[in-house]
Amino acid sequence: MKIKRHSAALAALAAGTLALTACGTDTNAPSGGGNPNLNNVQVQCGTKPVSGEGSSAQKNAMDVFARDYSIKCPGQNLNYTKSGSGKGISAFTAKQVDFGGSDVPLDAAKGETQKAADRCGGNPAWNIPMVVGPIAISYNLPGVNDLTLNADVLAKIYQGQIKKWDDPAIKALNPNAQLPSMDIVPFFRSDESGTSANFQNYLKTATHGAWTNEGKTFKSAGVGQGREGSDQVAQSIKATPGSITYVEWSFPRNLGMSTAKIDSGAGPVELTPEAVGKAVNDAQMKGQGNDLQVNLDSIFGTKAPGAYPILLTTYEIVCSKGYDPDTAKSVKAALTIAANADPKEMEQAGYAPLPPAFKDKVLGAVNAIS
């Protein structure tokens, strides 16, 4: 009954996308009367609507933020267009939007950092990580509802070195499970995807280079089946006994699918908001000052007990200075409200809430915009 109630609640969510760069659901943005936590949040509302564009990974979160913004600042709107990280950065540097949304921070080698500074009147642009999206390892294995995997096993599955569910390497991680002698059917994203990029970076980091592929195009050494979009990947898992994939957390939650625990060396860790929050809190930063670039390798390679390591962050790219006064006021109000989103609604939409210490860093950067 719990699953049915949860599914019914999810069905009532407003349409939107977290398709993590071309990886979204369009079914997970909560509707309702707003976030009661904002009653104690003080903002100065501007008079201009706020516009953003970019990563579809955070679209469902943006729907939550936009609703809260319109309630907290009556008559004002937060308008966000999901178009992909690259287009979001381009729109921001061209002054077409007030902030860009991206799965990755600005790339100095590609000239993005300088272009953004030019757009900001010669002032640095900051990367502010506002949304944390866990990536689940979802599987369909009849009779097995509790499964532990690790990076080495996942890499070998997608490299074709582990082909059966009762392989000794999987048995070693699951000594009490009744693993069937069934073929493993891996699925992956056939389109370019921020989810693929982060999953491959996780495999590369956590296997110490045994997995060599990277980037938004998944490379599976000829193993498995590709599907376009996270919805197709998830539906394929649900329909295919013996299958496995990597996918945004919202999909297995919506479809009632099983997700694996991950053992990074300190024991199995279930995908929960608390486990993701621990990984994020322990993450190292590679940006300077209020440029909050997260060193994801420090998360992917974590061995901390209780930390879930497979996730991505999406950034709001903003001007540190250079907005006109009213736009600056509106951007700061919108992002302050976003950082204070209701944790339960963020989880319902398929994200992990910002852990408190990390949230404080985010709010510090937002408050410093001038």
* CA–CA gap between residue 313 and residue 203 (Å, rounded): 17
**CA distance linking residue 79 with residue 56, whole number of Å:** 13
Give residue 301's pLDDT: 96
CA dist 93 and 95 (Å) reads: 5
Alpha-carbon span 231 to 233, nearest angstrom: 5
Supply the pLDDT for residue 18.
Answer: 33
Q: How far is the C-alpha of 135 from the C-alpha of 249, rounded, in Å? A: 5
pLDDT of 23: 36
Q: Which parts of the chain have pLDDT scores under 50?
A: 1-31
Which domains are present in the chain? Answer: 2-133+312-367 (3.40.190.10), 134-274 (3.40.190.10)
CA distances from 292 to 288, 295, 358 (A): 7, 9, 10
Q: In the structure encoding, which two tokens stand for residue 325, read together? A: 């006064």
pLDDT at 195: 87
**29 has which bridge partners?**
14
- How many Å apart are CA 257 and CA 261, to the nearest integer? 13
Q: What is the DSSP letter of 183?
A: B
* Rounded Cα gap, residues 151 and 215, in angstroms: 17
What's the distance, CA 159 to chain centroid?
A: 25
Alpha carbons within 13 A on the beta-carbon side of 289 = 9
The angle, 0 to 180 degrees and rounded to 10, between the axes of the packed helices 151-158 and 194-206 is 120
Per-residue model confidence (pLDDT) at position 34: 67
Q: Which pLDDT score, from 0 to 100, does residue 33 have?
A: 55
Percent of the chain with pLDDT over 70: 91
Which spans in 105-222 are helix H? Answer: 112-119, 151-158, 168-173, 194-206
pTM (2 decimals)? 0.80
Q: Which two tokens stand for residue 132?
A: 């944390």
pLDDT value of residue 1: 39
**One-letter amino acid for residue 166 of the chain:** D
Express each pLDDT in 232-265 by its tens digit: 999 999 999 999 999 989 889 889 999 999 999 9
Q: How far is CA 183 from CA 140, 243, 262, in A?
A: 12, 8, 21
Residue 145's identity, in one-letter code, is N
Q: Encode pLDDT of 23-59 as tens digits.
A: 333 334 444 556 887 888 999 999 999 999 998 889 9
- pLDDT score at 31: 47
